[in-house]
Every structure is written in C-alpha cells, then in structure tokens.
Amino acid sequence: MILVTGGAGFIGANFVLDWLAQCDEPVVNLDKLTYAGNLENLTSLQGDARHVFVQGDIGDASLVAQLLTQHRPRAVINFAAESHVDRSIHGPGDFIQTNIVGTFHLLEAVRAYWGGLQGAQKDAFRLLHVSTDEVYGSLGPGDAAFTETHRVEPNSPYSASKAASDHLVRAYHHTYGLPVLTTNCSNNYGPFHFPEKLIPLMIVNALAGKPLPVYGDGMQIRDWLYVKDHCSAIRRVLEGGRLGEIYNVGGWNEKPNIEIVNTVCALLDELRPRADGQPYASQISYVKDRPGHDRRYAIDARKLEAELGWKPAETFESGIRKTVMWYLDHADWVEHVQSGAYREWVGLQYASPSA
C-alpha cells in the first residue's frame, strides 16, 4: 500500500481518486483537515476498504511512525501543505509550521521506518515530495522556462517554505541516502479546487453575480496544467524516476490571468448565460495587486518527457471546459464549501475511521 499525506485537499484528493480508479493498491490517507481539507472530495470512496482515512498532522512524528509500522507502505507521497500565497502573506506562521517543520518531522519518521526495512522492500521504498514551480521565483518576458537546475529564488512566504521543504528532502537523500523524488509543478486547475484560488473563485463569483477580482493589471502569467495530468506525472515519477532527482511538471500553457478570466466568462456565457443577457466579463473588477506578485512562471517539462515519456492528456481548452462544467454540475459541493457545511459533515464523517 501507499501512504498519501494531504489527500483530502485539491490535488491529493484527485490523486487518491485516480489511483484507486486505476489499481487496487490500498491508500492510507493522512490529512489534518485544515480549512482546505474536505472529505466531501472523497465521498465516492465511502465504504471502500482500499481507502483508510486518518485525521492527523504530518508534524506528529509518533502518529506518522505508528502509521508506517502498522501499514508498512512501499511509498509515501507528500501533498500536505499550506498552499495559498495570499494566506501566506497575511499569516506566514502556519506555512512555516506545516511546510517546513511538518516536512522535517515527516522525513524523520520516514527515515526511521526506511532504516528498519530489509532487502527488496528497502530497495523499492520511495518518498515522493510534491512541490511547486514557485520555488524558482519570477521570470522576465523573454526568459527561458524553468528547468530543474534553475536557481531557487522564492518570493513569498509560501514559496520560501516550499523551497525550504525541498531542500530538506534533498538533504535527506544526500546525507542519509533516503530514496526521495521531488516534483515541481505549475498551476493546477480542475475538480475540487478550493474557491480561494483564481479559476474556481472566478467561476463561483461569476455565478453568484459578484465582482471578479483581477489583481493589478491582470497581465501576470501562469502555466496551467489540468490536475489529472499532474496526478499522472506523479504516478510516472513514482514508478520510474531516478532517486534524488527533481522533475518539473507542466503543460506548456502560459497564459496571462486576464485571458484565463475571460475564457471562464466566455464558457459560462455559453453554458449558463446570465438571465439579463449581459456577458459575465462585465463583472470583472481590477483590484489592488498582491504584494511581491510574481510576474511570470513557465515550466520546462522536457526532462520528464524525455526520461519517463510523460505528456499531458488535456489541452488547456479541453481542461478548462471540463472544469467549468464540473463546477456547474456540483453546485452542492460549492455551496457546502462556502457555507462551511462541509465542516459539519466532516464531524459526522470523522466518527468512522474510513471515508
């Protein structure tokens, strides 16, 4: 079996769902259930014995040690993190605690477990750490996309905390020989994306008749990847990645934010036109910029393609259409997240050990 951390969040939940749709290898899912963790993302696994949910903190070394001893996973995949840049600007403390201190405790527990494995089990074990392109900092308009050897220059408390965790993971490989893999991925989008992030926020605000807040001039560039393509890249790296290596993951989809917002608006105009016949783009509102806002990210994913044959399955056009349709079809999920009702549901759900 595998141990996934942060598997009730956006990418982690997509990963667990895809994993169990493709194989029967069980998943132990350790998640603290912060505001971003939502067991409703995993409702379809209710009663599925292949999924064992445990509420807990990656920084709780004794809990992690107990889970490792009890379940003896062949791999640990670390998604758990505080992930929202704006929140890190308002309050960096939780980011330092989970992304740096939490990763350190996780590494210590995994090192002790791996140290006790023998022979083939020890050779086969992997720790895959899920990280971000934001650790590389910001690109100028004509700069080449980030490769794995690009200098690490994080600019926000979030990206600095992720960079620190990447360094710890690297150090545990070089110092202790821990069999690690790190992936640095660009901006994801897709089902179960918490509506504090750009794309889901634009969809839910548009439908609610609220302003669509675009920071600054809206010309900041992000490189977008459909979440299920990120999940397939992680599976590929887990299977065939070289130990101690970093693999950049991206879809070659650089777009300015304003273009993303206009695309979402155009899809909503087509799929759910406003009652008054006006375009959703009329709700766009330019607001104060994010402090220290990175201007451009772009990922060079050629290493992953050349070494492991990975390519994204979705184009931006197909992925964004699927995403908008998912939000239109899951008004209950949005309503529960916004009202906080999912927290009550979590209380009920957490009474049983498996989701």
349 close to 39: Cβ distance less than 8 angstroms: yes
Q: Identify the active-site residue in 133, 229, 254, 294.
A: 133
269 close to 280: Cβ distance less than 8 angstroms: yes
Nearest CB to ligand NAD, comparing residues 196 and 269: 196
Question: How do strand 27-31 and strand 126-132 relate by DSSP bridges?
Answer: unpaired
Instruction: Provide, rounded to whole angstroms, the least separation between the CB of residue 122 and ligand NAD.
Output: 26
- Candidates 182-190, 205-213, 279-287, 334-342 — which segment interacts with ligand NAD by CB under 6 A? 182-190
**C-alpha to C-alpha distance for 347 and 45, rounded to whole angstroms:** 17
* The token pair that represents 350 in the structure block: 């957490």
Residues forming a β-bridge with 294: none
Instruction: Provide, rounded to whole angstroms, the least separation between the CB of residue 63 and ligand NAD.
Output: 10
Q: Distance between the two ends of the chain, CA-based, in angstroms?
A: 17
Instruction: Provide, rounded to whole angstroms, the least separation between the CB of residue 1 and ligand NAD.
Output: 18
Instruction: Provide, rounded to whole angstroms, the least separation between the CB of residue 132 and ligand DAU.
Output: 3
Q: Identify the active-site residue in 113, 136, 158, 189.
A: 158
- Does the annotation count 305 as an active-site position? no
Out of 17, 27, 75, 81, the residue judged to bind ligand NAD by CB under 6 A? 81
Burial class (CB in 10 A: 0-12, 13-18, 19+), 93: exposed
Indicate which of ligand DAU, ligand NAD, none lies near residue 36 (CB less than 5 to 8 Å, by partner kind): ligand NAD
In degrees rounded to 5, what are phi and psi of residue 62? -70, -35
Looking at residues 189 to 248 of the shown chain, list those that interact with ligand NAD (rule: CB under 6 A).
194
- Does the annotation count 269 as an active-site position? no
Indicate which of ligand DAU, ligand NAD, none lies near residue 98 (CB less than 5 to 8 Å, by partner kind): ligand NAD
What stretches of the chain adopt beta strand conformation (E)? 2-5, 27-31, 51-55, 75-78, 126-132, 180-185, 187-189, 212-215, 221-226, 246-249, 254-256, 284-287
Q: Is 215 in the site for ligand DAU (CB under 6 A)?
A: yes
- Does the annotation count 57 as an active-site position? no
172 close to 180: Cβ distance less than 8 angstroms: yes
Q: Is 130 in the site for ligand NAD (CB under 6 A)?
A: yes
86 close to 38: Cβ distance less than 8 angstroms: no
Q: Is 198 in the site for ligand DAU (CB under 6 A)?
A: yes
Q: Is 9 in the site for ligand NAD (CB under 6 A)?
A: yes
**C-alpha to C-alpha distance for 137 and 155, rounded to whole angstroms:** 6
Looking at residues 16 to 75 of the shown chain, list those that interact with ligand NAD (rule: CB under 6 A).
30-34, 36-37, 57-59
Indicate which of ligand NAD, ligand DAU, none lies near residue 214 (CB less than 5 to 8 Å, by partner kind): ligand DAU
Please count the other Cβ atoms lying within 10 Å of the Cβ belonging to residue 330: 15
**C-alpha to C-alpha distance for 15 and 32, rounded to whole angstroms:** 17
Q: Is 88 in the site for ligand NAD (CB under 6 A)?
A: no
Across the beta sheet with 2-5, the strand order is 51-55, 27-31, 2-5, 75-78, 126-132, 180-185, 246-249
Q: Is 77 in the site for ligand NAD (CB under 6 A)?
A: no
Nearest CB to ligand DAU, comparing residues 220 and 349: 220
Instruction: Provide, rounded to whole angstroms, the least separation between the CB of residue 99 and ligand NAD.
Output: 7
Q: Is 297 in the site for ligand DAU (CB under 6 A)?
A: yes
**Which residues contribute to the site for ligand DAU (CB under 6 A)?**
83-85, 132-134, 186-187, 197-198, 201, 213-215, 220, 222, 257, 290, 297
Active site residues: 133-134, 158
